[in-house]
Amino acid sequence: MEKPAPAQHPIHELLARRWSPRAFDERPVDLPTLRTLFEAARWAPSSSNEQPWRFIVASKAHEREWNRLFECLMEGNRKWAFRAPILILAAAKVSFGDDGGVNRHAVYDTGMAVGNLVLQATASGLVARQMAGFHIEKSRVDLLVPSGHEPVAMIALGYPGDPTVLPEPLRERESQPRHRQPIEEWTFSGQWGVSLP
């Protein structure tokens, strides 16, 4: 199922096609394809080229590892994510490598890497849904996330599936039109509150 963005201004077709469904086909994603996604993440920009992103990835082909990530999800996400063949935890190393100082851009940079990964997934015929709904402390313990690293998001990844397999009301939400706030509500000219011409 495709749901291209109803953009008000011209954007790249890849950006328009990217969206975050909950319906996944259970078909596996092969390792070369996964490596391509992480290669895309690798080339994201980052402050001082720190590359603070870290990913823990698990395939359903390795059920024990996949379950470890799945069990970190909150119940609302478990209702649909159980079909996703790949689960990923994105984490950020929150200190600089050279002096150990706080890298306040680490989470931002990790988001940039995830953005690259998600766009590469779209280009590869895959879909990804990023989730804030996971148990952060459980993920730290169960996935052995070391001190100095912050769990940022979980990502369900796979091939698009049939939305009719979703429970209500998720099925209904899956088919609703996509919506974004107008540019004028959050982009200002020169200073806060001054609208773009």
pLDDT at residue 1 tops 80: no
Over residues 30-52, the pLDDT tens digits come to 999 999 999 999 999 999 999 99
- Residue 173 lies inside a defined structural domain of this protein: no
In this structure, are strands 53-59 and 86-93 parallel, antiparallel, or unpaired? antiparallel
> Are 163 and 21 spatial neighbours (Cβ–Cβ below 8 Å)?
yes
179 is a domain residue = no
Q: Could you tell me if residue 176 is inside a domain?
A: no
Average pLDDT over residues 87-102: 95
Which structural domain, as residue segments, surrounds residue 141? 13-162
Q: Residues 153-174: what's their mean pLDDT?
A: 92
Number of domain units in the chain: 1
Q: What is the mean pLDDT of residues 125-145?
A: 98
192 domain residue, yes or no: no
The closest alpha carbon to 128, from 43, 23, 52, belongs to: 23
Q: Is the pLDDT of residue 174 over 90?
A: no
Q: Which residue has the tokens 């993440």?
A: 41
Instruction: Establish how many alpha carbons lie within 13 A of residue 163's alpha carbon, considering only the half-sphere containing its beta carbon.
Output: 15
Token readout for 31 is 């390792």
Q: Per the structure block, which two tokens stand in for 11? A: 């954007």
CB-based contacts of 171, cutoff 8 Å, min separation 6? 163, 164
- What pLDDT, on a 0 to 100 scale, did the predictor assign at position 3? 87
Q: pLDDT band for position 175 (50/70/90)?
A: confident
Asked, for residue 149, whether it belongs to a domain, the answer is: yes
Residue 42 lies in a domain: yes
Distance from C-alpha of 8 to C-alpha of 70, rounded to nearest angstrom:
37
The answer as to whether 174 is a domain residue is no
Query: Any idea what the CATH number is for the domain that residue 144 is in?
Result: 3.40.109.10
Residue 187 amino acid letter: T
Longest CA span, the chain: 55
Residue 196 lies in a domain: no
Cα 196 to Cα 189: distance, rounded to the nearest angstrom: 5
pLDDT category of residue 173 using cuts at 50, 70 and 90:
confident
Task: Read off the pLDDT of residues 12-28 as tens digits, 9 standing for 90 and up.
Answer: 999 999 999 999 999 99
Q: What value does the mean pLDDT take over residues 129-152? A: 98
Q: Tens digit of pLDDT for each residue in 60-93?
A: 999 999 999 999 999 999 999 999 999 999 999 9
